[in-house]
Structure 1
Amino acid sequence: MSEISASEKLEYVKSKIGKYPDFPKAGIVFRDIFGALTDAKACAYLRDLLVDHIRESAPEAEIIVGLDSRGFLFNLLIATELGVGCAPIRKKGKLAGEVVSVEYKLEYGSDTFEIQRSAIKPGQKVVIVDDLLATGGSLVAASELIRNVGGIIVESLVVMELVDLEGRKRLDGKVHSLIKY
């Protein structure tokens, strides 16, 4: 049996991502990663794609940081496969101990992200992972938090990117998306 190519894996995963017009409001097309995650083959392929990408693009990564909340679906998985640590960035009030916070703007208001000060050692090389890059607000805030605790961001990795929203323009450094809409 022949090995399936990365592009075939990607097309399979993409075919399983849900598309919901007018959610959460009129004019928005919501791309739902959970459609892919309910399919065992898509899960395995997505794992392979994410892990293989980091092995090739950011082999120096020492910790994988997942963003609240869908990034958590990927950071432990990736970290385990790579043999590195993982840490969460969460919404305000969800983490114990000493935390560092940053407020960021959303299309409809603002929110606050936090990370435990001890989660990342100064100088540690970090990959940020999330399901979606839209306007870039959450990745900008996460990047600021990681720099504030002394981490060095080697890459931001997302499963999907909504290109028309131009969130990538707000980000510094290397950004990779598996799927672009």
Structure 2
Amino acid sequence: MTADPRELLLSRIRDVADYPKPGVVFKDITPLLADPAAFTALTDVLAGFCRAQGATKVVGLEARGFILGAPVAVSAGLGFIPVRKAGKLPGATLSQSYDLEYGSAEIEIHAEDLLPGDRVMVIDDVLATGGTAGAAMELIRRGGAEVAGVAVLMELGFLGGRGRLETVLDGAPLKALLTL
């Protein structure tokens, strides 16, 4: 692994024009996931950030946040908690609604997975408008835990998600390995 894996990571992200609709350029991370060197580099960097922030647990945001968050948690020696779309988790949950560009959505987490004193890192593939990450941070705090930070593979800077998250971050760091 190189000292700065950003070039490797960027080289493994494929642009897909007009997906999922005309005019959108989708950032496909499946080539990165298929490359063990790139996937390991990504996991190592994110796990290091978790350790540096004193995280005790990792939440992964459905669905690609699961793919990244679970190996990061294992690598860092932390527990993993999935944040799911509403209605996907059995048992008692905490739920949080948030606004999308067109409409709204709701996510949930198992209430018992968060404990007072937990420092929880939010992991996802992309920071776009910040709605899902912001809702996840609200769930973490409502569950009695502290947000250790937010870490993403890439930030789509032109969508303004970082600015929208500043008040919700409440001093917690936001790390984007790539800003596009």
TM range (shorter): over 0.9
Superposition map of 1:38-117 within 5 A: 38-56=34-52, 58=53, 60-117=54-111
C-alpha distance in 2, partners of 1:6/1:105?
A: 38
Secondary structure of 1:90's partner? Answer: strand
Do the aligned partners of 1:10 and 1:49 also contact (CA within 8 Å) in 2?
no
Structure 1 stretch 21-30 or stretch 147-156: which is displaced more? Answer: 21-30
Do the aligned partners of 2:73 and 2:80 also contact (CA within 8 Å) in 1?
yes
- Report the equivalent of 2:2: 5
C-alpha distance in 2, partners of 1:106/1:134?
A: 11
Give how far 1:115 is off: 0.4
C-alpha distance in 1, partners of 2:7/2:91?
A: 42
Do the aligned partners of 2:81 and 2:113 also contact (CA within 8 Å) in 1?
yes
C-alpha distance in 2, partners of 1:82/1:36?
A: 20
Secondary structure of 2:91's partner? Answer: coil
C-alpha distance in 2, partners of 1:17/1:54?
A: 23
Normalization by structure 2: what TM-score? 0.92
Give how far 1:143 is off: 0.7
In structure 2, the gaps of 5 or more residues are: none
- Report the equivalent of 2:23: 27
C-alpha distance in 1, partners of 2:22/2:111?
A: 40
Do the aligned partners of 1:10 and 1:45 also contact (CA within 8 Å) in 2?
no
CA RMSD in angstroms, aligned pairs only? 1.2
C-alpha distance in 2, partners of 1:72/1:6?
A: 26
**Deviation by residue 1:28-64 (Cα, 9 ceiling, x = unmatched):** 21111112111122112211221223333x1x11000
C-alpha distance in 2, partners of 1:158/1:35?
A: 17
The runs of 4+ residues in structure 1 deviating greater than 3 Å are none
Q: Does 1:119 align with 2:109?
A: no
In structure 1, the gaps of 5 or more residues are: none
Q: Report percent identity of matched pairs.
A: 41
C-alpha distance in 2, partners of 1:94/1:6?
A: 39
C-alpha distance in 1, partners of 2:42/2:136?
A: 23
